[in-house]
Amino acid sequence: MNPKAIFFGSIGTLAETSDLQRRAFNQAFAEAKLDWHWDVELYKGLLKKSGGKGRIQGFAAQKGIPVDAPHLHKRKTEIFNDFMTKKNLPLRPGVSEVINHAKETKLSLAFVTTTSKANIDAIFFALGDQIHRSKFDFIGDETMVANPKPNPDIYIKALTELGIKPTECIAIEDTETSMEAALTANIDCVAFPGQISQGNSFDGAKFVTEKLSPSYFIT
């Protein structure tokens, strides 16, 4: 049975933003006079925890340093959004083709993220005419659910809003932590690793790919 919906699970499934995120964290730390630097390998491990505030809180606890995590994360988001408005971000390979396929075949499209509304606004601004938010029938954000990924709450919300069953859709995720949310909601998931998640195992994924194709959503 062909799916009735395709769920893009995060900003990173649309455009490669993982290293921009890492650089934004580091700039926020420097401005706060914190002697922290998240290199690629460290950040790769930190991505196992979903949510920037949670990563900051966990790292601060390890260091034994009290920090204002919400304020730091707010500043990181401002820096990240500034980075994106100055970039001409390309869509990741195959994303445009999959979105066009969904529209042509009348599949529902969902952007099932628990990031901030500011980040969502920034990614659509950065992508410009390549993709408009109106293409999506559902767009999630952190205000919609009590528990962020890897909890399945946002996926369950999307299923309810679109009136479909877990077996009637396929998710696309770029990190193992976010994929866990889809799998816990009993949704098949295509792993589409971002730059920093490449080489991870993605156990439980339907398959792992570096380029999306409409054929993945035809059974």
CATH 3.40.50.1000 spans which residues of the chain?
5-15+89-217
Q: Are 176 and 201 in contact (CB under 8 A)?
A: yes
For residue 150, is the peptide bond before it cis, meaning its omega torsion is within 30 degrees of 0? yes
Residues of the chain with CATH 1.10.150.240: 18-85
Please, which pLDDT band fits residue 98 given cuts at 50, 70 and 90?
very high
Confidence of residue 105 (pLDDT cuts 50, 70, 90): very high
Q: State the architecture of 5-15+89-217 in CATH terms.
A: 3-Layer(aba) Sandwich (3.40)
Tens digits of per-residue pLDDT, 113-151?
A: 999 898 899 999 999 889 999 999 999 999 999 999 999
Describe the crossing of helices 153-162 and 176-184 by its angle, rounded to 10 degrees. 50
pTM of the predicted model, to two decimals?
A: 0.88
Q: Using 50, 70 and 90 to split pLDDT, how confident is the model at 1?
A: low
Render pLDDT for 28-76 as a digit per residue (tens, 0 to 9): 999 999 999 999 999 988 887 767 888 999 999 999 999 999 999 999 9
DSSP state of 48: T
Q: How many angstroms separate the most distant Cα atoms in the chain? A: 55
Query: What six digits make up the tokens of 133?
Result: 């938010």
Class of the CATH domain delimited by 18-85: mainly alpha
Q: How far apart are CA 69 and CA 100, in angstroms?
A: 39
Question: In terms of C-beta distances under 8 Å and separation of at least 24 residues, what long-range contacts does 82-85 make, across chains too?
Answer: 83/20, 83/23, 83/24, 84/17, 84/20, 84/122, 84/123, 84/125, 84/126, 85/122, 85/125, 85/126
